Amino acid sequence: MGPGGDHLCGYRSRMQRIGIIGGMSWESTTEYCRLLNLGVRERLGGLHSARLLLATVDFAPIVQLQQAGDWDAAGEALAVEARALEAGGADLVLIAANTMHLVFDQVAAAVSIPVLHIGDVLAAAVKAAGLTRVGLLATKYTMELDFYRDRLASHGVEALIPDAADRTELQRIIFDELCHGLVTDTSRERLLETARNLLDSGAEGIVLGCTELELSIRAEHLAAPLFPTTALHCEAALDRAFT
């Protein structure tokens, strides 16, 4: 019997097992699990559900490492989880947080299975829509540091970011509200105002570049192409899991 128990008597599955490094925050990790299971239901019907392994970190220490700029320690924390997922039988890994893709290379180097980069998935969706310039709503780390925008640029996609005041407010809404499961109309309108400002500045669409933002904003809220990275990441993972 393999580590994942695939040879249990009579058990067969048509999909690979997806490993998720979550907890950053658990509110959006819950959305990952929901979307992956919905995606399997849509593809296979009946009582089928996603084959998942879930490793959730304690987010508070990760936030402290982010604030201190100790990305090496944060990367090692996630690398430990990735190795555990591989040992448990995962066939591929998702880092269920845009910001923590700053340590993607460290996590990917820790395992021999694929780690699916959310930025690559996003860039593919933007290009498939025929766009090359998007507005990025995210944490201050994802907006201000180079790792995310450079990844998009490597695919020919330019990312515009909000001004300093809007970036500060985005950070507050994400960490003080959405990470706690608090969704308000006032904050949603503030996010949409920021998105509209980016569109006025030349963005052709808007990226929800923080997994919690999809708890607040949906496509019907904005008269422009919207790219929800959690949903896109999950769809791409299912595409891989069914190959």
Answer yes or no: is 1 within a domain. no
Among 61, 50, 136, 153, CA closest to 98? 136
Same domain as 223, residue 236: no
Is residue 10 situated within a structural domain? Answer: no
Q: Under a CB-based contact definition with an 8 Å cutoff, are residues 28 and 54 in contact?
A: no
Asked whether residue 3 is domain-assigned, the answer is no
Average pLDDT over every residue of 173-181:
97
- Give me the residue label for tokens 């949409």: 192
Do 237 and 183 fall into the same domain?
no
- 2 confidence band (pLDDT: 50, 70, 90): very low
Is 77 among the domain residues?
yes
Kindly calculate the radius of gyration of the chain based on its CA atoms and give it in whole angstroms: 18
Q: Which two tokens stand for residue 80?
A: 């430990």
Here the CATH number for the domain that contains residue 188 is 3.40.50.1860
Q: Which domain holds residue 100?
A: 18-116+232-241
71 in the same domain as 145:
no
Residues 123 and 219 placed together within one structural domain of the fold: yes
Q: Do 112 and 158 fall within a single domain?
A: no
125 lies in the same domain as 224: yes
What is the C-alpha to C-alpha distance for residues 115 and 118, in angstroms, rounded to an integer? 9
* Phi, psi dihedrals of residue 19, rounded to the nearest 5°: -95, 135
**DSSP result, 48-71:** ----EEEEE--HHHHHHHHHHT-H
Domain match, 42 and 70 both: yes
What CA–CA distance (Å, rounded) separates 237 from 16?
10
- The answer to whether residues 217 and 134 belong to one domain is yes
Q: For 7, left (φ over 0), alpha (ψ -120 to 50), or beta?
A: alpha
Q: 101 lies in a domain?
A: yes
Same domain, yes or no, for 124 and 220?
yes
Q: How far is CA 203 from CA 21, 156, 159, in A?
A: 31, 14, 8
- The predicted-structure confidence for 139-166, as pLDDT tens digits, reads as follows 999 999 999 999 999 999 999 999 999 9
Q: Say yes or no: 71 and 173 in one domain.
A: no
Q: In this structure, are 112 and 126 located in the same domain?
A: no
Q: Is the pLDDT of residue 7 over 70?
A: no
pLDDT in tens, 53-96: 999 999 999 999 999 999 999 999 999 999 999 999 999 999 99
Peptide bond into 201 cis (omega under 30): no
Among the listed residues 64, 69, 55, 62, the one whose alpha carbon sits nearest the alpha carbon of residue 21: 55
Number of structural domains found in the chain: 2
Same domain, 92 and 160: no
- C-beta separation of 203 from 160 below 8 A: yes
Q: What is the predicted pLDDT for the residue at 88? A: 98
Is 9 within a domain? no
Classify residue 12: in a domain, yes or no.
no
Give the pTM: 0.93
Task: Note whether residue 7 is domain-resident.
Answer: no
DSSP 84-147: HHHHTT-SEEEES-SGGGGGHHHHHHT-SS-B--HHHHHHHHHHHTT--EEEEE--HHHHHSHH
Digit-coded pLDDT (tens) for 90-144: 999 999 999 999 999 999 999 999 999 999 999 999 999 999 999 999 999 999 9
Give the mean pLDDT of 173-202: 98
C-alpha 191/C-alpha 210 separation (Å) is 12
